[in-house]
Homo-oligomer: A and B are copies of this chain.
């Protein structure tokens, strides 16, 4: 039930830092051990992630997800294909560099592809077009801000929220939390729910509020920690 991070370059480093911050279990596969300035408590496997034996050694059969951020698109494509073959239900995210690689990586079996140039370009355009929106999103998604976080909270079967409307459960009034969307268990996203929207078990609430209040809402939703 761990994650495998292939590649400890500029992106790999940031990913590992974030996963560690949230106490997520993971193992890093990296060819060059001198990429690590400090190993801390990280689980590191020295080797080439494009080789099946290394992926098996990293426990791919028991893994929850794999993140492929190797230097080239060719290597990432290779890893995605291998990983998909070794574990059909694995959650796979890969980095795309060149234009056109995104489609290839998806066809090879990635669930999500992130293209740094693409999202970097969009971010720059938004910085010009919508500077305050960019400020807001950066603030709300940066870990460590206790005044504001955007979190997702899945309502459990036994939760006391089940069956109540957003108004009835006092999320807004008492906790000062805004529910900006509800993701149904079917994957459908419902935007701008109203006061009268009823909460169902299996709903994932996209919630915006103070960290301490979000913790209270998690408890109300029956989320185990």
| Chain A residues in the interface with B (C-beta under 8 A) | 3, 10-15, 18-19, 22, 24, 65, 67, 69, 91, 93, 95, 99, 112, 114-133, 135-137, 139, 141, 147-148, 150-152, 176-178, 180-181, 183, 189, 191-192, 194, 204, 206, 208-210
Contacts and interface: CB of A to CB of B under 8 A. Distances in A.
A124 B191 contact: no
Nearest to A207: B133
Contacts of A130: 141, 150-152
Contacts of A124: 11, 15, 67, 69, 93, 95, 114
A83 to B, nearest CB: 15
Contact of A178 (B115, B139, B192): B192
Contact of A181 (B10, B125, B136): B136
B176 A178 contact: no
A95 B141 CA distance: 21
A177 B24 CA distance: 36
Contacts of A10: 99, 117-118, 121
Contacts of A128: 3, 19, 24, 65, 67, 91, 93
18 contacts: A12-B121, A14-B125, A18-B122, A18-B129, A19-B125, A19-B128, A22-B129, A24-B129, A91-B128, A119-B119, A130-B150, A131-B152, A132-B152, A132-B189, A133-B141, A133-B150, A133-B152, A177-B192
